[in-house]
Structure 1
Amino acid sequence: MLLVGSGCALTPQMDPPDAEAQLPDAYDTPLVEGGPLYAEDDSTRFNPVNWWTAFDAPALNALIDTALVRNLDLERTRAVVDEIASQFRIARAPLFPQATANGNYNRQSQPANTGIGGALGGGGGSGAVPDRFTFDTYSLSLSLSYELDFWGRLRNQRGAALERFMGSVDAVQTARQQVIAQTISTYFEVAALERQIALGEETIRVLQQRVDLAEDRYDRGLVRSFEVYALRQELQAAQAEQPQRESQLADARGRLSVILGQFVGNVDEAVMQAARSAPRDAVLADLQPVPPGLPSDLLMARPDVRADARELNAAQREIGVARANRLPSFSLTGEGGVQNSTLDDLLNIDQRFTTLIASVAAPVFQAGRLRAEQDAAEARYTQARATYEQTLLTALQEVHAALTAYEKQQEQYALVRDQLEQAEASAYNQMRRYERGIGDYATALDAERTRLQAEQRLTAAEEALVGSRIALHRALGGAWVAPPESDDPRLFRGTYRPDGAADTAN
């Protein structure tokens, strides 16, 4: 027990980083009561782990499923996990005895007047002793070697490798959240741009009618030329915006194809048609409200924070490895088998042999190399600690910024939605006045143009609100519940292969 304890003692015990020790108890999560995303109670349809299901868009869910399977950045990150899982198995292997089977055949032929034969007077040509000696030796043996881990060096190597493996799993989760967020934001960007283009075409149609009407009234001397020129310029400005929107739409579609691991233009048109046909506010009405008083411990559920914490733990264990390298190492080596001069009688148990060696090796003079390795390990720990604290502080700032932005976007969305309702009422009343003959058509067209402008602003506000919601989820590492711990069979099974085929551990 003393020896086991000494191995643990070589790994230094470090105080928690200051940023972790000073985390607040909870985030401030203000909500806009009565706003579009406020609800009295939680929806049972919402799965907080698969947080994107809150958008209640089957087409979007299909895109996310495709991206999670086919995205190439995510595939590369998974391959990194496979590599580090193998490195962990390599690091833990020295904790177990190493066995090697040997089979040898040795033929030796030498003059009789050399070595012991010469000392006995052999090789003199008298015929009593042959001129040469020839020996044939066959052997089968099994050798075992084992290093006694008195100082915990091997255990710390294994622990560091395990921490890095779990950190790579967290890196996959970070990449996964990024792919999900990119898919959602690009999906809604495409839908918003297509809606903006449709609204732009409708605006151009209304403005063209308004210009035609103004020109007719100008020809009759009812309006000044300034009004005609102003309306023409407004029409030209609306027409000039359409090519830019179409270019942005082509770019967004291309980016969505890349996210899905497909060539440009291969995105299922039926999926995008579902996005275009979604009724207004359907996406926003069912979104799960952010619970008030989120605990700041959720910050530790962010995969990037967990990955840096894993790296910090690995760096701490590597200090123990460097310290153990400066102390004596102990090992046992044993070999047993059979040997004979003829192959036919090789398995005769009377021809057995055994060897047992216990060895100790202690560094005496390494020109300061081992001490420098320990200093380097301690410096790496300091770097990892600073990186972890910086990540923690940045994550906390991102959550606070995302909560504030989300609140303000809700306020903006509510105001723009009210503005559209007023514009719709005005356009309806002006058209009714024109139809009853008590209002002019120019006023009705102006009211319709104002309604279209308000609808364009609401489309932009919807996209911004969805974007702020996505940013909040990313800042929280996905949702406001802690994810389950990873249980990866690659850590403990020697039969794992990425393609699912059987393999043999070695």
Structure 2
Amino acid sequence: MASRSSIPPEQHDDNGAQRPYAKAAVLAVLAFSLSACMTTPPPRTESLLVEVPDDFSSSGQSEAVASFEPSGWMEDFDDPLLSGLIEEALRYNLDLKVAAARLDAALASANAGKSEIWPSLNLSGNGSKSRRGSASGIQQTPTAETYGLTGRFSWEIDLWGKLRNGYRAELADQEAALADYRSARLSLAARTAKAWYAAIEADQQLELEKRILEALVESSRIVEENFASGIARALDVRLVRANLASSRSSLEQRRRSRDAAIRNLETILGRYPKNELELASELPGIRAEMPEGIPSELLLRRPDIVAAERRLAAAEQRKFEESKARLPSLDLNLSRGTSSSDLDEIFDFVEKRIWSQSLGVAQTLFQGGRLKANYQRARATYEQNVAAYSQTVLTAFREVENALSNQSSYREDYEYLRVAAEESIEAEKLAWSEYASGLTDITTVLDSVRRSITAQRSFIQVANQRIQSRIDLYLALGGGFEA
């Protein structure tokens, strides 16, 4: 006949003492399974308050449209230096480092917030000594010592999915933060390219002013000699001198503008603004045809639109979370530990064990309207994000339509000003030739000089504006400004 002592200790009357650990393990696995199955909220594009057309109205090519390839936009510019500049900016720009740190903070905050779905497990130890007097007040009781080690498991069981809604909102917030960072990179790359070409334009304007000044110096010498010979009038001399002084002043203005443009670019690149960056001598041409896409692709490609949509998804999940906060909650608490008067026995989980378990249900009856107000606030925030998302999409469509429309306009403007610059240069040469022959007066000559200068300046300016407009189009289409 077997004795009770032959039964393993864990099968004694302490079966109940083993159940808390087993239950805690099962519930922990269940919590992990629930969280592992959690996915980010689905897209909320159906919440848009604006119509998404099939084609952009300003594209001008409704058929046989080449798809937009955002990753190859830099190949459209015949500029081998641009890629290296953008890579340098993406690596060293301090504003982007701020954005990266902001992303890290947002991801850490979201990770901290999603911990609500997990059970909590705590381990604590305690020790105490006490002694008190007897009832007579003459003698004292022996010193009592108590030592313990306790593990506690607590979990709010997510019956209604409230915590899961909060977790999904955190996931959407993470995606929004990542889209914001991508938007910052996109903006920085475009800003680098625009600053690069703005600096080249400023340098070309400076070089043009130098050529103009050299020509005016030579012309002034001729007029001064003619005046000394009695051929030219004093009025001719004074008008030429005035133009010469204005040109020198303009040269200094152009030099300041060029230096400021270079320093601005150096700052974007994360360099000290020493005004030492070497510039290309010419603005590049645009080799590719006008890039296009379809509006539905824009909703998935532009990071600012993605961020706005993800914030809307997060706001919707928080609205659900606040709605379910008014339902009863179910909390499970388990503890297991030891208690002993001897410190050496606190790890005796068989003889000195203690344990407890509880399951509680709670229903809020009155909080002065706090839960209702929280839900109303979450619902209003959701409606706010619906409008903000729709406005972001509408603004994106406006930017694309403007940029598409500007492409053909700048292309034609570029050709017109090219002809105007060429003809004005030839007209200026002809005016000086006629003046030397006495066929025209100095006023006509100086007017032709002014027209030539204006036309050449405008041509350089529109050449840069054409490039800037193409960059704006890539930016509006969500182009991948990656090195």
Which residue does 1:68 correspond to in 2? 90
Contact 1:195 1:276 in 2 (8 A): no
1:249 maps to 2:250: no
**How much does 1:445 deviate?**
11
1:276 maps to 2:273: no
SS of 2:308's partner is helix
Which residue does 1:163 correspond to in 2? 172
CA distance in 2, matches of 1:313, 1:464: 39
Identical-pair percentage: 28
SS of 1:357's partner is strand
**How much does 1:223 deviate?**
4.6
**How much does 1:135 deviate?**
2.4
Q: Cα distance 1:276–1:370, how it changes in 2: closer, same or farther (>3 A)?
A: same
SS of 1:322's partner is helix
**TM-score with structure 1 setting the length:** 0.76
Which residue does 2:16 correspond to in 1? none
Which residue does 1:457 correspond to in 2? 458
Deviations 1:248-279 (A, max 9, x none): 122222222321233321x6x4xx43x333xx
CA distance in 1, matches of 2:208, 2:79: 23
Question: What code does the residue aligned with 2:122 have?
Answer: T
Q: 1:108 aligns with which of 111, 130, 135?
A: 130
**How much does 1:149 deviate?**
0.7
Which residue does 1:28 correspond to in 2? 57
Contact 1:339 1:353 in 2 (8 A): yes
**How much does 1:140 deviate?**
1.9
Matches within 5 A, 1:358-397: 358-397=359-398
Deviations 1:306-335 (A, max 9, x none): 211111111111111211221111111111
CA distance in 1, matches of 2:128, 2:466: 80
Q: Cα distance 1:87–1:29, how it changes in 2: closer, same or farther (>3 A)?
A: same
Deviations 1:133-155 (A, max 9, x none): 54222222221111101122211
Question: What code does the residue aligned with 2:145 have?
Answer: D
CA distance in 2, matches of 1:396, 1:90: 36
Deviations 1:195-244 (A, max 9, x none): 21111111111112122223333444545554444433332322221121
CA distance in 2, matches of 1:447, 1:171: 52
Tell me the C-alpha RMSD between the 2 structures.
3.6
Matches within 5 A, 1:394-433: 394-422=395-423
Which residue does 2:76 correspond to in 1? 54
CA distance in 2, matches of 1:385, 1:56: 42
Contact 2:213 2:248 in 1 (8 A): yes
Which residue does 1:471 correspond to in 2? 472
Which residue does 1:118 correspond to in 2? none
Matches within 5 A, 1:293-332: 294-332=294-332
Q: 1:190 aligns with which of 199, 203, 210?
A: 199
Which residue does 1:258 correspond to in 2? 267
CA distance in 1, matches of 2:265, 2:45: 45
Between 80-89 and 99-108, report the one with greater CA deviation.
99-108
Aligned length: 434
SS of 1:16's partner is helix
Q: Cα distance 1:403–1:124, how it changes in 2: closer, same or farther (>3 A)?
A: closer
Contact 1:71 1:261 in 2 (8 A): yes
Which residue does 2:335 correspond to in 1? 335
Contact 1:29 1:293 in 2 (8 A): no
Q: Cα distance 1:346–1:216, how it changes in 2: closer, same or farther (>3 A)?
A: closer
Q: 1:199 aligns with which of 208, 211, 224?
A: 208
Contact 2:400 2:476 in 1 (8 A): yes
Contact 1:106 1:136 in 2 (8 A): yes
Q: Cα distance 1:124–1:165, how it changes in 2: closer, same or farther (>3 A)?
A: closer
CA distance in 1, matches of 2:318, 2:454: 62
**How much does 1:90 deviate?**
1.2
Q: Cα distance 1:105–1:425, how it changes in 2: closer, same or farther (>3 A)?
A: same
**TM-score with structure 2 setting the length:** 0.79
Q: Cα distance 1:183–1:100, how it changes in 2: closer, same or farther (>3 A)?
A: same
**How much does 1:177 deviate?**
1.9
Q: Cα distance 1:112–1:208, how it changes in 2: closer, same or farther (>3 A)?
A: same
Deviations 1:14-69 (A, max 9, x none): 8933434x11112135479xxxxxxx989xxx973253353343333222222112
CA distance in 1, matches of 2:140, 2:103: 65
Which residue does 1:210 correspond to in 2? 219
Contact 1:299 1:477 in 2 (8 A): no
Between 96-105 and 224-233, report the one with greater CA deviation.
224-233
Unaligned stretches of 5+ residues in structure 2? 1-33
Q: Cα distance 1:15–1:220, how it changes in 2: closer, same or farther (>3 A)?
A: closer
Question: What code does the residue aligned with 1:19 have?
Answer: L
Contact 1:29 1:294 in 2 (8 A): no
Contact 2:175 2:310 in 1 (8 A): yes
Which residue does 1:347 correspond to in 2? 347
Q: Cα distance 1:291–1:372, how it changes in 2: closer, same or farther (>3 A)?
A: same
CA distance in 2, matches of 1:251, 1:242: 14
1:81 maps to 2:88: no
CA distance in 2, matches of 1:231, 1:259: 42
Unaligned stretches of 5+ residues in structure 1? 33-39, 114-122, 484-506
Q: 1:16 aligns with which of 31, 46, 62?
A: 46
Q: 2:245 aligns with which of 236, 251, 276?
A: 236
Q: 2:144 aligns with which of 119, 130, 135?
A: 135
Which residue does 2:13 correspond to in 1? none
SS of 2:57's partner is coil
CA distance in 2, matches of 1:124, 1:471: 91
CA distance in 1, matches of 2:425, 2:105: 60
Q: Cα distance 1:296–1:41, how it changes in 2: closer, same or farther (>3 A)?
A: closer
Q: Cα distance 1:296–1:407, how it changes in 2: closer, same or farther (>3 A)?
A: farther
CA distance in 1, matches of 2:328, 2:149: 33
Between 445-454 and 174-183, report the one with greater CA deviation.
445-454
Q: 1:96 aligns with which of 90, 93, 118?
A: 118
**How much does 1:470 deviate?**
1.8
Between 210-219 and 446-455, report the one with greater CA deviation.
446-455
Question: What code does the residue aligned with 2:404 have?
Answer: L
Question: What code does the residue aligned with 1:16 have?
Answer: E
SS of 1:137's partner is strand
**How much does 1:363 deviate?**
0.8
Contact 1:111 1:133 in 2 (8 A): no
Q: Cα distance 1:292–1:167, how it changes in 2: closer, same or farther (>3 A)?
A: closer
Q: Cα distance 1:444–1:368, how it changes in 2: closer, same or farther (>3 A)?
A: closer
**How much does 1:369 deviate?**
1.0
CA distance in 2, matches of 1:155, 1:61: 44
CA distance in 2, matches of 1:15, 1:56: 38
CA distance in 1, matches of 2:66, 2:365: 70
CA distance in 2, matches of 1:298, 1:475: 9
